[in-house]
């Protein structure tokens, strides 16, 4: 046996107790403001459908239109791979999974739009459309045809449209409540936010609805849409978006970048309004840092270049959309907007290629980390968290199968979830 090491200390236990007591408020603040990712599924996209166009068959219709676009403009693996530049290894699994996804679950998140996509209407007409949206969404969840996430985007909290937005929200939520209750996948989007006080007001509005209907406090969350310069930088030079997350009082679930409103707000010419413009990159980077650790997720915007017309034009639009989506994924923006059924094939192609091209290496690295085995990369707990999160996202969207991940990582889904969401103290301690 080796020599027994003598362990000596100099500080009394009271010192540690005093330090802990002094940091107790900070500990509580960390837990409250930075709870970490909620661990739930994040959709890879959001589809916006105007309130007057939303119908019982909208989701299936979008899937069918996307499949028809594939049949017309890329009817087989080789043609689709040639358009997007997919490698031989990726071409078949990506193409087959895209078609299967369009048949099984063409839309992951659908927002019935009562804002820009709907515009000003007579009050009675918007009332009927909001009530109809509630009925159709309730029926979709009841009969199993709903997207995993569904909800509405109402008008903003600015004075000219505030009362209309509040009434539309009330009509919609009341209709859902009376049609069997609020579905788990319900999502609300608040657009054109410029001041944190507007977020606070919206949170209070939701609180009032919960109290009227006896719902649990905090049951209703919402996304904040970042579409103005004031939502990124306040007049005092602080990051407004960080203050908005705080102003939501725990109800904020997402930050969604509005490509065209934000670009126009900064004076970017229409021809250059795109999600890869430097102004867009700056805004999303600020959003990303503000949201990190809070449990609030960031979503990229959209492209307005539609894949319609002759095949050559469709292919150009597909390549643009595919490239923008891959660019966003590399920057950790795992969600974006899609404006047309023709965007759906390239959304899923980009997402599936992103996860499939890296999952074998990610699974092998995570397996080595889990088994404390050696390798050419020395990973830390934070990296294990990122690796497992990557695999879980791939599983959730259908890019990966649990069997192939388990074969390589030798881990169950429960194992992956454990690595993806360690408690703060566990992560810090395991790094020592």
Residue 428 confidence (pLDDT):
40
In tens, the pLDDT along 228-239 reads 999 999 999 999
In this prediction, residues 277-287 reach a mean pLDDT of 97
**Element holding 80 (H helix, E strand):** helix 77-84
* pLDDT class of 218 with cuts at 50, 70, 90: very high
Residue 106 confidence (pLDDT):
98
| 381 or 54, higher pLDDT | 54
Q: Which of 340, 355, 370 is the last residue of a domain?
A: 355
In this structure, are 75 and 203 located in the same domain?
yes
- Please tell me the pTM assigned to this model: 0.92
* pLDDT class of 372 with cuts at 50, 70, 90: confident
In this structure, are 310 and 418 located in the same domain?
no
Does 283 fall in a domain? yes
Averaged confidence pLDDT in the chain: 93
Does 173 fall in a domain? yes
In this structure, are 405 and 257 located in the same domain?
no
Residue 422 confidence (pLDDT):
56
Q: Which of 330, 355, 380 is the last residue of a domain?
A: 355
Does 185 fall in a domain? yes
In this prediction, residues 210-229 reach a mean pLDDT of 97
In this structure, are 350 and 380 located in the same domain?
no
In this prediction, residues 264-280 reach a mean pLDDT of 96
In this structure, are 248 and 121 located in the same domain?
yes
Where in the sequence is the domain holding 386, given as residue range(s)?
A: 359-430
In this structure, are 203 and 107 located in the same domain?
yes
In this prediction, residues 195-223 reach a mean pLDDT of 97
In this structure, are 285 and 382 located in the same domain?
no
Q: Which of 324, 355, 386 is the last residue of a domain?
A: 355
* pLDDT class of 255 with cuts at 50, 70, 90: very high
Q: For residue 131, is pLDDT > 90?
A: yes
Give residues with Cβ within 8 angstroms of 32, minimum separation 6: none
In this prediction, residues 246-257 reach a mean pLDDT of 97
Written as six digits, the tokens of 421 are: 């969401």
Does 245 fall in a domain? yes
Residue 381 confidence (pLDDT):
83
Residue 193 confidence (pLDDT):
96
Between the CA atoms of 416, 417, 420 and 424, what dihedral angle is there, to the nearest 10 degrees? -130
In this structure, are 393 and 300 located in the same domain?
no
Phi, psi for residue 113 in degrees, rounded to 5:
-100, 125
Does 25 fall in a domain? no
In this prediction, residues 145-159 reach a mean pLDDT of 97
Q: Return d(Cα 281, Cα 332) in angstroms, integer.
A: 12
Residue 373 confidence (pLDDT):
53
In this prediction, residues 406-427 reach a mean pLDDT of 78
Residue 371 confidence (pLDDT):
83
- Count the alpha carbons within 13 Å of 159 in the hemisphere toward its beta carbon: 0
Does 15 fall in a domain? no
Residue 379 confidence (pLDDT):
60
Work out how many domains the chain is built from and give that number.
Answer: 2
In tens, the pLDDT along 75-108 reads 999 999 999 999 999 999 999 999 999 999 999 9
Residue 61 confidence (pLDDT):
98
* pLDDT class of 424 with cuts at 50, 70, 90: very low
Q: For residue 425, is pLDDT > 50?
A: no
- Hey, is 270 helix, strand or coil? helix
Give residues with Cβ within 8 angstroms of 254, minimum separation 6: 187, 223, 224, 296, 297, 298, 299, 335
In this structure, are 305 and 412 located in the same domain?
no
In this structure, are 350 and 373 located in the same domain?
no
Does 281 fall in a domain? yes
CATH of residue 232: 3.20.20.60
Q: Please give, one letter per residue, the 3-state secondary structure of the chain.
A: CCCCCCCCCCCCHHHHHHHHHHHHHHHHHHHHHCCCCCCCCCCCEEEEEECCCCCCCHHHHHHHHHHHHHHHHCCCHHHHHHHHCCCHHHHHHHHHHHHHHHHHCCCCEEEEECCCCCCCCCHHHHHHHHHHHHHHHHHHHHHCCCCCEEEEECCCCCCCCHHHHHHHHHHHHHHHHHCCCCCCCEEEEECCCCCHHHHHHHHHHHHHHHHHHCCCCCCCCEEEEECCHHHCECCCCCEHHHHHHHHCCCCEEEEEECHHHHHHHCCCCHHHCCCCCHHHHHHHHHHHHHHCCCCCEEECCCCCCCCCCCHHHHHHHHHHHHHHHHHHHHCCCCCEEECCHHHHHHHHHHHHHHHHCCHHHHHHHHHHHHCCCCCCCCCCHHHHHHHHHHHHHHHHHCCCCHHHHHHHHCCCHHHHHHHHCCCHHHHHHHCC
Does 293 fall in a domain? yes
Residue 375 confidence (pLDDT):
52
In this structure, are 376 and 339 located in the same domain?
no
In this structure, are 207 and 156 located in the same domain?
yes
Q: Is 78 exposed, middle or buried (0-12, 13-18, 19+ CB in 10 A)?
A: middle
In tens, the pLDDT along 309-353 reads 999 999 999 999 999 999 999 999 999 999 999 999 999 999 999
């Amino acid at each position: 046996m080796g020599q027994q090491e003598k362990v000596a200390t100099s500080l009394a236990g009271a010192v540690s107790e005093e330090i802990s007591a002094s940091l107790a408020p900070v500990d509580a603040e960390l837990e409250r403001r930075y709870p970490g990712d909620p661990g739930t599924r994040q959709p890879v996209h959001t589809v916006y459908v105007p309130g007057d166009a939303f119908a019982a068959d909208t989701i299936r219709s979008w899937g069918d239109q996307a499949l028809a676009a594939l049949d017309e403009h890329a009817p087989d693996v080789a043609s689709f791979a040639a358009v997007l530049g997919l490698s031989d290894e990726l071409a078949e699994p990506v193409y087959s999974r895209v078609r299967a996804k369009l048949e099984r679950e063409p839309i992951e998140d659908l927002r019935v739009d009562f804002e820009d996509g709907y515009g000003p209407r007579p009050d009675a007409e918007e009332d009927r459309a909001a009530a109809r949206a509630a009925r159709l969404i309730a029926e979709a969840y009841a009969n199993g045809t709903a997207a995993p996430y569904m909800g509405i985007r109402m008008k903003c909290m600015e004075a000219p449209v505030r009362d209309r937005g509040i009434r539309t929200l009330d009509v919609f939520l009341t209709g859902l409540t009376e049609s069997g209750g609020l579905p788990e996948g319900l999502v609300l989007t608040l657009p054109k936010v410029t001041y944190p006080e507007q977020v606070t007001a919206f949170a209070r509005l939701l609180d009032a609805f919960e109290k009227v209907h006896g719902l649990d406090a905090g049951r209703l969350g919402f996304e904040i849409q970042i579409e103005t310069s004031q939502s990124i930088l306040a007049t005092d030079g602080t990051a407004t978006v960080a203050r908005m997350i705080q102003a939501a009082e725990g109800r904020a679930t997402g930050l969604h970048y509005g490509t065209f409103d934000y670009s126009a707000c900064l004076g970017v010419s229409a021809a250059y309004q795109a999600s890869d413009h430097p102004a867009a990159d700056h805004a999303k980077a600020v959003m990303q840092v503000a949201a990190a650790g809070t449990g609030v997720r960031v979503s990229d915007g959209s492209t307005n270049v539609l894949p319609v017309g002759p095949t050559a034009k469709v292919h150009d639009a597909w390549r643009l959309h595919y490239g923008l989506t891959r660019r966003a994924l590399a920057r950790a923006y795992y969600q974006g907007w899609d404006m047309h059924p023709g965007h759906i094939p390239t959304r899923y192609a980009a997402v599936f290629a992103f996860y499939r091209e890296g999952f074998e290496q990610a699974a092998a690295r995570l397996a080595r980390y889990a088994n404390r085995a050696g390798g050419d990369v020395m990973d830390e707990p934070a990296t294990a968290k990122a690796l497992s999160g990557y695999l879980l996202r791939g599983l959730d969207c259908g890019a990966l199968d649990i069997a192939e991940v388990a074969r390589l990582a030798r881990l169950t889904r429960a194992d992956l979830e454990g690595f993806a969401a360690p408690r703060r103290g566990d992560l810090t301690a395991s790094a020592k």
